[in-house]
Amino acid sequence: MNATTDTLSALYPLLSGLSANARQRIETEGRLLEIPSGPRIFDEHQPCVGFPFVLSGQVKVGKASASGRELPLYRVHAGETCVISSACLLGQSDYNAYAIAESPLQILLLPPALFQQLLSEPAFRQFVFRLFAERVADLMQLVEAIAFQ
């Protein structure tokens, strides 16, 4: 394993259960991106370019209305990943939100084909579905707060 996969395993412990072949493919096919603070990483209606593992920095994911109003949906920090990206990859659809680098970022981006193949790995599949479960729980808390407070 190289420094990138060591960092990935430290930040995402669940992935340590991946097969040696899967770890090797992540190492060779994943793209390490350095993104400065400020730019949009993706935008609504663009095709999904991959599954991001945030190794350092912070990303804001939000939704914009036609009138220009913006609603922050959530933030992604080191050790987390973007549920919108995984939803787009699973549904083979375009992004339905935008993401902005709020600080300098280091991201390991898995290509869509590798993401699909890694879903056959129990540890990776569990990781992706746990991500969805956590975001649904967050959404339910938000709905409760809006409805009852």
Per-residue pLDDT, averaged over 38-45, amounts to 94
Percent of the chain topping pLDDT 90: 64
Percent of the chain topping pLDDT 70: 97
Q: What is the mean pLDDT of the chain?
A: 90
pLDDT of 135 reads 79
Per-residue pLDDT, averaged over 137-145, amounts to 80
Q: Which residues of 53-81 are buried (b: 16+ CB within 10 A; e: fewer)?
A: bbbebbbbbeeeeeeeeeeebbebebebb
Q: pLDDT per residue over 46-75, tens digit each?
A: 999 999 999 999 999 999 888 888 888 889
Structure tokens at 35: 């993104």
φ, ψ of residue 122 in degrees (nearest 5): -55, -40
Half-sphere exposure of 145 (CA within 13 A, CB side): 6
124: Cβ–Cβ under 8 A, 6 or more apart, which residues?
15, 18, 22, 118
| DSSP conformation letters of 58-75 | EEEEEEE-TTS-EEEEEE
* Strand bridging mode 105-110 / 58-64: unpaired
Q: pLDDT per residue over 4-30, tens digit each?
A: 667 888 999 888 889 999 989 998 999
Tell me: pLDDT of 143 over 80.
Answer: no
Residue found under tokens 């663009």: 46
Residue found under tokens 């190492």: 27
Helix, strand, or coil (residue 50): coil
pLDDT of 1 reads 42
